[in-house]
Each structure stands twice: as C-alpha cells, then as structure tokens.
Amino acid sequence: MTTAETRYEYGPRAKRGYAGMSPPQIAVLLVAAFVAVAVLNVVGGIVGLPLAVGVGALGGLLTFTRHAGLALPEWLPVLWQRARGQRRWVHPGPSASSDAERRSAWPKALGNVASRGGELTPYLWDGAPVGLLDVTAPAAFTLASSHTRTAATSGFAATLAGLAEAGGLVEAASWTVRVSPADADALDSWAAHNTDTTAHPALAASYAALLAEAGPVGQHHTHTLAVRLRNGRETTYAKRLAGGLGPLVAREVERLAVQLGDAGVKATPITGAARDRVVSHLDLFGVPSPDLPVIGFADEWDCVRVDGSLFRVLWVEDMPRVPVAADFLAPLLLGCRAPRIVTLIARPVPADAAVSTAERQAGGAEADAELLARHGVRLSAARRRALDASQAREAELTGGHALIRYVALVAISAPDKATLADATAEVIAAGAKARLRLRVLYGRQGAALAAVLPLARKVSK
C-alpha cells in the first residue's frame, strides 16, 4: 500500500501599505494632490483647472508606473541607499600596518565579519553573535522515499517553529547551499580506490556501469546553516549564566544540531574555520586565500565584481502558488550548470507580535475589499486570494502555529558579463520549472550579496 506524498502550497506574499500601495507611493500621491490643490487655488480660473488636472495625472502616472518589479516612487530609497553605500573597495595590501589588519581587511558593503571567542569557544561577530553548522543529509533528498522527505520537511519546520517560542534567543536562521564546479572524475576515482573488485566482481561491475550511465559529476554542494542570536536583555542574562558569549553561541548551535538530528539531518558545528567558510562563498571557482580573502570589490547596477568573479543576485519574488512536493527546488539546486549560491533566511516572529500583525493585515484586507465593493470596483482574483490567505493566517496563529518570515536569494557567479547573462537566463528558467518567480535586484547588488552569505542577516526590501 502506498501513501500519497504530502504537498505544500504558499500563499501570496504579504504587502505592506494601504489599498495595495506602498508608503513611497502614498507619499508621492499625497504630494501630487497637495500641489494640484495649491495650483488650483493660486492660479485659478480656466488656466488653473487644466494645470491642476495635469499635476494630478502626472502624480498618478509616477505613483503607479512600475519598472523592474517596483513602482517608480519605490526606487527613491534604492537610489538613496546606493548613493550612500560603498561602491568601490581595494585591499590595502602592503600598506596595512600589521598582518592582523591585512587579514581582517574586508569591504564594508559586505558587512563586518570577525572571529571572536578565541580557540576554545570561537564564534562569528557580525553586529550580533553568529554560529555556523555544516549540514549533510544521510541520502540524496530527491532519491529518498516520500515518507522520508515528508518526515525531514516536517522536522525542519518544527525546528523553525520552536525558534519562535517566547524567550528564545535565536533572531534568525539561514540555510545556504554553495554550488561550485567539481572534479568530473572525482566519483570514479573514489570508486576505484574504495572498491574491491575481487570480492564481488559482479557487484563492482554493476556499480561501475551505474556510474558510467550517470555521467560525470559536475557540481559540489556545500550546505551551511547559520544561527544569529538576538541583541537584548535575554541574551545578556543568558551570557552570564553560560559563562560568556562564546559558550552561549556553542550551546544554541549544539541544541539546533540535536533537533535537526532528530529530523534525520546531520549537522556539525563549525568552530575554528567559521570565517573561512563564509569567505569561501565569494569564490565559487576555487579556494580564497585566508590572508587576502577579498582584494577588490565593485558594486555595479546589475552585478557585483569580487576580485576576478562577477556575481548577480536574484530575489525569489514569489513562491509556488500551487501544491508542490517537498523536493520542488530540485531544478534550481540540481538542474543548473552555473556556479551559484542559494540562501533561505528565516526570521521567527514572537507569538504575540505575530497574532497582532496577522489581525492587522486581515483587517486591512477586509477593509480594502469592503471599500472597493462600496464603490463598485470588482475584487480581482489576486485580492480575493490575498484576503483568504490573511484570514487563514490569522486563524492558524490563533490556533497556536508559528509565524516565520522568510526571504530567498540566489547569487550567480561567472567570470565575465556574457557568461553571467547566459547563467542568469539558465537559473531563471530553472526557477520557473520549480514554480518560482526570480527577479534581479537592480541597484542593490552589494547589499544583496552580503545577505546571501551564511550569516542570517536581516533583509529589507
């Protein structure tokens, strides 16, 4: 007897604002209305009326015209942050005053990553304490049985839900998959050195035929789980009880490793080489030097140049809207040749804040629907689905479920812009197979690449 595999469905992405408009859109619309009224009062007459109408029409055009997924007013914060951010950086090299300064030199646009805690209890400091785990699965997820996949997915979901409990110290967690080119003959070499052809010749021949049929191994996947602790009174008090921040980070990381182990996922804390693990994500074609991890950095409009490699970061704008299996990300993780980094950042929301947020969003969606119906405006299918999703979310949180806010990013690496364009098209096509909508984060590539690193950083739109 076979059982149907559990399938999962994602609701519409929650949108902040009022009546479907973001705060920058509302601000531009109000300014246009104010200017139109002022023109009508100052100029007046036959001349003032068309001028006021023109100003209002121009304000509406600026408010609702969209480019690259954003309304025109929403580009103002992007341009402001880009103007204030670091665009170019070059390693000081021999001019550094000491070897420690030369090794710790790092572009500010990628954050301030430092190793602390000494040799006994090392951890990373990135504005908050961060611990890393190396994650390996006992078997290929896509080849496992449906029961195994469902159990692993449910166990991971329960682990994330536990982070949202009151009094928890974990602010965010991120799962990062580094996909880099591998030695095509690595599996054949391993089999040749670890297979005794004399003991079971038929079995060895069958395994060799299976490897030959599968083809060469072209990719190497490295999974890293990052845990970021909160900066607050609870962490300060727990630090005193644990004997320091290093032992506290080690305790939280080990606790998460045990919970993942119960779900069938092997997670090992990364201690001594945690910073090197983070830096390795900036060179998908080799191993960066620990003395000079980054030599040059340039933040361009649609990509980031780190030494001799180009990176382009895509945002997963929409998750699947139809029921999908637990391995729906297989086309993105396994079906591309481009070197890439896939990161999922999950931020648990405290229960009280989650309930109040869900009630406010459900109330706003209902008020918008009533307002549109009152004025005879048809309620679109997207608005109806968003209304149903907000009401369902409110009911689930009232029933005791946890709220996890998540952001998914994909960084593609290539040696030149032509190859980068081809790799971007390939990844977007693979995302479409996984029913994901991917969008290039124009103007925010530096901040997006910093968020892709396994540090569980906060991501803002």
Dump pLDDT digits (tens) for 43-63.
877 778 888 888 889 988 888
Q: According to the 3-state scheme, what is the secondary structure of the chain?
A: CCCCCCCECCCCCCCCCECCECHHHHHHHHHHHHHHHHHHHHCCHHHHHHHHHHHHHHHHHHHHCEECCEEHHHHHHHHHHHHHCCCEEECCHHHCCCHHHHHHCCCHHHCCCEEECCCCCCEEECCCEEEEEEEECCCCHHHCCHHHHHHHHHHHHHHHHHCCCCCCCEEEEEEEEEEEECCCCHHHHHHHHHCCCCCCHHHHHHHHHHHHHHCCCCEEEEEEEEEEECCCHHHHHHHHHHCCHHHHHHHHHHHHHHHHHHCCCEEEEECCCHHHHHHHHHCCCCCCCCCCCCCEEEECCCCEEECCEEEEEEEEEECCCCCECCCCCHHHHHCCCCCEEEEEEEEEECHHHHHHHHHHHHHHHHHHHHHHHHCCCCCCHHHHHHHHHHHHHHHHHHCCCCEEEEEEEEEEEECCHHHHHHHHHHHHHHHHHCCCEEEECCCCHHHHHHHHCCCCCCCCC
Lowest mean pLDDT among 131-145, 256-270, 407-421: 131-145
Are both 168 and 293 inside the same structural domain? yes
Are both 78 and 137 inside the same structural domain? no
Are both 119 and 246 inside the same structural domain? yes
Are both 47 and 104 inside the same structural domain? no
- Residue range of the domain that includes 99: 89-182+218-452
Lowest mean pLDDT among 13-27, 156-170, 238-252, 331-345: 13-27
Are both 49 and 165 inside the same structural domain? no
User: Among residues 62, 84, 106, which one ends one of the domains?
Assistant: 84
Whether residue 190 lies inside any domain: the answer is no
pLDDT at 103 over 60: no
* Cα dist from 289 to 36, 89, 181, whole Å: 60, 18, 18
| Mean pLDDT confidence for 312-338 | 87
The reported pLDDT for the residue numbered 325 is 84
User: Among residues 33, 64, 84, which one ends one of the domains?
Assistant: 84
Are both 24 and 168 inside the same structural domain? no
Q: Please, which pLDDT band fits residue 312 given cuts at 50, 70 and 90?
A: very high
Are both 157 and 256 inside the same structural domain? yes
Are both 39 and 114 inside the same structural domain? no
Q: Which amino acid is at 414?
A: A
Are both 50 and 128 inside the same structural domain? no
- % of the chain exceeding 90 in pLDDT: 17
Task: Domain count for the chain, please give it.
Answer: 2
The reported pLDDT for the residue numbered 1 is 43
Whether residue 154 lies inside any domain: the answer is yes
Are both 258 and 292 inside the same structural domain? yes
Q: pLDDT tens for residues 251-280?
A: 989 988 888 888 778 888 988 778 888 888
pLDDT at 438 over 90: yes
pLDDT at 413 over 70: yes
pTM of the model: 0.82
Lowest mean pLDDT among 23-27, 88-92, 193-197, 361-365: 193-197
pLDDT at 38 over 70: yes
